[in-house]
Amino acid sequence: MSNPAQTPAQPITFKRNAREALADPQLRRNFRGAMDFLMDKRRSQFPDGDELERLRAFGNRVRARALSKLPELLERLDANLSRNGVRVHWAETVEEANAIVHGIVERHAAKKIIKGKSMVSEEMEMNHYLGDRGVDCLESDMGEFIVQLREEKPAHIIMPAIHLNAGQVAQLFHDKLDVDYTEDVDRLIQIGRETLRRKFFEADIGVSGVNFAIAETGTLLLVENEGNGRMSTTVPPVHIAVTGIEKVVENLRDVIPLLSLLTRSATGQAITTYVNMISSPRKADELDGPQEVHLVLLDNGRSQAFADGELRQTLNCIRCGACMNHCPVYTRIGGHAYGTVYPGPIGKIITPHMLGLETTRDLPTASSMCGACGEVCPVKIPIPSLLRRLREEAVRPPAAEPHHMRGQGAKYSKKETMIWKAWRKLNTSPGLYRAAMYAGTRLRGLMPANIGPWTEHRSAPKPAARTLHELAREHLGDQ
């Protein structure tokens, strides 16, 4: 499996993955069912279109406000968390973040880590990194636990095992956990519960992500339904939270609209079972909770996205997953085909900042530009126009100013540039245009029947016998 922590030299093989996924009917059925389910659930949570639109605009402003003072808020967050007794660490790269976590692990001579759901730790390939150093990291979210047992990556940022059906999970548990085969979901969840309860009990360190980091109070907010997040952040003697630098919000009350948008958009719930707000480690008179709480703030390409006013909007994301649920491409190929930690529309606009366009050059083009992602995004990220922008960045000459995306120009081709120049010339010179159209219509018989991927599933286009101009002139005369 490729390791995003170390930039793969080869581009992500998106096209091949997509072709393979499309050929798997079981996978397509699983995704189709799951996406229909999630779209219905979301729709039922927003019966009032006017409220939804006002709330989206509000959410967008709350996020934009936070980003417009990001350095100041990060410093406030750091100061307030430190005052509360939480230790804050900063990392520019995933290597640095992993080294910080490993340092804490080593200081405690920890061997067993239990993890709540955290996409940033996936970004870091933390399990892999610590595993290589003899530390066992176990995922405790049911979906994550299932994909970990299968030695896979999550297929969705909210529902990691969405690509599997109950029968596949039943077989997996039977094979790996040595239990009787059962497709009874209640029973399967109880098997997971019993297995993991012991692990919470034994863990030396708990790792979690963060949904919102609140600068005003120095608080880490986590939403979840299972209670594994609470377990991971309360039972082990040490808690390490990892998050991207963009997750900060200014005030405590700012989380109210964002929570409402997040839980309703993600799983169609008015609220999740648990909203967990952690502000400090165990105090002297308290009987439980970790003795130490750490926060690792990770950049990993975010400051690059931040550098450009338009691309900065990528960082508004609250990771609800609605864009992937509504994406016709994601629904058909599933999350693994993207070959990245964040799949679907959000993945296509955030991953190029993390890995560079060299390896992710195909992602911005993996969109039908239908606009569904932009329409559902609860914080109004204009995903289609960001995709267009990234396509532009990928073909801009590598050294062109002013903004430098890592891998800018990864798709730049002199030939293509020449073709577009010629195209422009053709379309801005009437004589040339007429001549070309005349030739195109009269020589239509020479059009090849096979023009690569286009003709794999379609017949080749054939120019008309006469141009539209000619036809119009025939009908209307020279007016």
Partner 1 sequence: MNAKERILGKLRASLQGTTPVADDYDVGLLTEPWRYGDETRIARLRQMLEAVHGETLLTTSAEWPARVVEALSARNIDELLISPATAHGQQFAGHLALTGSALRLKAYDRPVEAWKDELFFHTPASLTGTLGGIAATGSLVLWPTPQEPRLMSLVPPFHIALLKASEVRDNFHEFMHEHRWAAGLPTNALLVSGPSKTADIQQTLAYGAHGPKELLVLILEDA
Chain contacts with ligand SF4 (rule: CB under 6 A): 317-323, 345-346, 376-379, 381
**Binding of residue 74 to partner 1 (CB under 8 A):** yes
- The length of the chain is 479
| Closer to partner 1 by Cβ: residue 178 or 285 | 285
- Least distance in angstroms from the C-beta of 263 to partner 1: 9
* Residue at token pair 């338009």: 310
**Binding of residue 473 to partner 1 (CB under 8 A):** no
d(CA 38, CA 323): 11
- CB count within 10 Å of CB 80 equals 19
Near partner 1 in 379-438, by CB under 8 A: none
- Least distance in angstroms from the C-beta of 218 to ligand SF4: 24
- The runs of H, that is alpha helices, within 10-164 are 14-22, 25-45, 49-68, 70-84, 94-107, 119-124, 126-132, 142-149
d(CA 28, CA 341): 20
**Binding of residue 91 to partner 1 (CB under 8 A):** yes
Helix-strand-coil percent breakdown of the chain, rounded to 5?
55, 10, 35
- Least distance in angstroms from the C-beta of 387 to ligand SF4: 11
- Least distance in angstroms from the C-beta of 381 to ligand SF4: 5
**Binding of residue 140 to partner 1 (CB under 8 A):** yes
Element at 205 (helix H, strand E): strand 205-208
d(CA 149, CA 126): 16
| Closer to ligand SF4 by Cβ: residue 229 or 321 | 321
**Binding of residue 69 to partner 1 (CB under 8 A):** yes
- Least distance in angstroms from the C-beta of 462 to partner 1: 46
Residue type present at position 230: R
**Binding of residue 99 to partner 1 (CB under 8 A):** no
- Least distance in angstroms from the C-beta of 146 to partner 1: 7
Among partner 1, ligand SF4, none, partner that 346 touches (CB below 5 to 8 angstroms by kind): ligand SF4
Q: Which of 121, 208, 243, 267 binds partner 1 (CB under 8 A)?
A: 267
Q: Which of 13, 22, 37, 45 binds partner 1 (CB under 8 A)?
A: 37
Among partner 1, ligand SF4, none, partner that 378 touches (CB below 5 to 8 angstroms by kind): ligand SF4
**Binding of residue 31 to partner 1 (CB under 8 A):** no
Among ligand SF4, partner 1, none, partner that 131 touches (CB below 5 to 8 angstroms by kind): none
Q: Is 125 left (phi over 0), alpha (psi -120 to 50) or beta?
A: left
- Least distance in angstroms from the C-beta of 452 to ligand SF4: 32
Question: Which value, to the nearest 10 degrees, does the dihedral of the CA atoms of residues 372, 375, 379, 383 take?
Answer: 50
Among partner 1, ligand SF4, none, partner that 343 touches (CB below 5 to 8 angstroms by kind): none
Among ligand SF4, partner 1, none, partner that 169 touches (CB below 5 to 8 angstroms by kind): partner 1
Strands 212-214 and 219-224: antiparallel
**Residue 238 pairs with which residues in a beta bridge?**
205, 292
| Closer to partner 1 by Cβ: residue 21 or 245 | 245
**Binding of residue 64 to partner 1 (CB under 8 A):** yes
| Closer to partner 1 by Cβ: residue 223 or 357 | 223
- Residue 244 phi, psi (nearest 5): -80, 155
User: 389: which residues sit within 8 A by CB, 6+ positions away?
Assistant: 310, 311
- The sign one gets for the Cα dihedral 67, 70, 72, 76 is positive
Near partner 1 in 269-308, by CB under 8 A: 270-283, 285-289, 297, 299, 303, 306-308
Residue type present at position 160: P
- Least distance in angstroms from the C-beta of 467 to ligand SF4: 43
- Least distance in angstroms from the C-beta of 377 to ligand SF4: 3
**Binding of residue 182 to partner 1 (CB under 8 A):** no
- Least distance in angstroms from the C-beta of 229 to ligand SF4: 19
Are 93 and 300 spatial neighbours (Cβ–Cβ below 8 Å)? Answer: yes
**Binding of residue 180 to partner 1 (CB under 8 A):** no
| Closer to partner 1 by Cβ: residue 8 or 237 | 237
| Number of chain positions touching partner 1 (CB under 8 A) | 98
Are 360 and 11 spatial neighbours (Cβ–Cβ below 8 Å)? Answer: yes
Near partner 1 in 233-262, by CB under 8 A: 233-235, 245, 250-254, 256-257, 259-260
8-state DSSP, 460: P
8-state DSSP, 150: T
Are 454 and 460 spatial neighbours (Cβ–Cβ below 8 Å)? Answer: yes
- The sign one gets for the Cα dihedral 31, 37, 39, 45 is negative
Of 342, 337, 345, give the one whose Cα is nearest residue 28: 337
